[in-house]
Amino acid sequence: MTSQTRIHSGHRDFVGYAGSPPDPRWPGGAKVALSFVLNFEEGAEFAVSEGDALNEGIYEVDHRLEGPDPCVESHFEYGSRAGWWRIMDLFDAYGVKATVSACGRAVERSPALARDAVRRGHEVAAHGWRWESHAGMEEGAERRAIARTVETIADVTGARPVGWHTRSAASQNTRRLLVEEGGFLYDCDAYNDDLPYFASVSGKRHLVLPYAFDTNDMHFQHTQRFRGADFADYIIGAFDWLAREGASAPKMMSVGLHLRMIGRPGRIGALDAILRHVTQGDAAWIAPRAAIARHWLATFPEAPR
């Protein structure tokens, strides 16, 4: 068992590629495979008014009511009503294809948005049934949640999702259940590298495409003073550094976005600046995560050493 295959097996891997990463030979000789992930969670968040025990607490203000909270509900509604269209039109303007990481319940409640994503050429991946952690979830319940998410996305979009990401954190069973469910090319339930890697799960090779929280608009949300310029500067700085490294050791980069966050008019300019920067020149291969996964699997029919 290599250092790249010791995840979720009772061991932690502090070694990774040990300073000698494999060359993924990204298309066009790109230095960075750049993945934009648009999280579609609206309607899958917790809400007391809809029978949940508590309300979701992550939005524009630091406040949580014990009873029904129309304030937080309307913040989430902004994402599907206004943010979606603003972000999608901007992606179209730059010819960028993203991964829409969608909660099953969000797709069920706003199927037109999932279909719009497919019409525009984006990948729709699975982000759990609800916008919730799977840590401590009973195995049978988790298995049903995965299956229900897959079924709903497939029914609405006409294509089953091939990628998965759990709102942190996954359970100790999640990755095994994904492999047992079948049909998944990859999951994103890791934050520990700048390149994909293989994990050994139930004796099978499984691909992990690490995600990131620092290059994620939700991280900036926690400041309570989310300035678009700060987010753009950070993302552009990260991209430029990885492109610099990529001259000799190509990397992958994830940019996490949320409808109700970057989709606000005071912040969308940040995404415009990011897209303008990364689409200049040939340093970036901008692709949905499914395309990155398929390229990695074709490039490395066996796990890189």
pLDDT for 30: 98
Q: Where are the beta strands (DSSP E) in the chain?
A: 32-40, 99-102, 123-126, 163-164, 186-187, 197-201, 204-208, 251-258, 284-286
Amino acid sitting at position 1:
M
What's the mean pLDDT in 244-258? 98
- Residue 167 three-state SS: strand
> In order of start, what are the domains of the chain with their CATH numbers?
3-9+23-299 (3.20.20.370)
- Residue 242 three-state SS: helix
What's the mean pLDDT in 68-88? 94
Rounded to whole angstroms, the Cα distance separating 268 from 276 reads: 12
Amino acid sitting at position 92:
D
Digit-coded pLDDT (tens) for 167-181: 989 999 999 999 999
Digit-coded pLDDT (tens) for 136-152: 999 999 999 999 999 99
Rounded to whole angstroms, the Cα distance separating 264 from 75 reads: 11
pLDDT for 227: 86
pLDDT for 6: 40
Rounded to whole angstroms, the Cα distance separating 103 from 124 reads: 10
Contact 175, 201 (CB under 8 A): yes
User: What's the chain's Rg over C-alpha atoms?
Assistant: 19
pLDDT for 63: 72
Rounded to the nearest angstrom, the gap between the alpha carbon of residue 233 and the centroid of all alpha carbons in its chain is 21
Total residues found in the chain within this entry:
305
Q: Could you give the percent of the chain with pLDDT greater than 90? A: 83
Rounded to whole angstroms, the Cα distance separating 211 from 236 reads: 17
Digit-coded pLDDT (tens) for 192-230: 999 999 999 999 999 999 999 999 998 887 776 788 999
Backbone torsions φ then ψ of 206, nearest 5 degrees: -130, 135
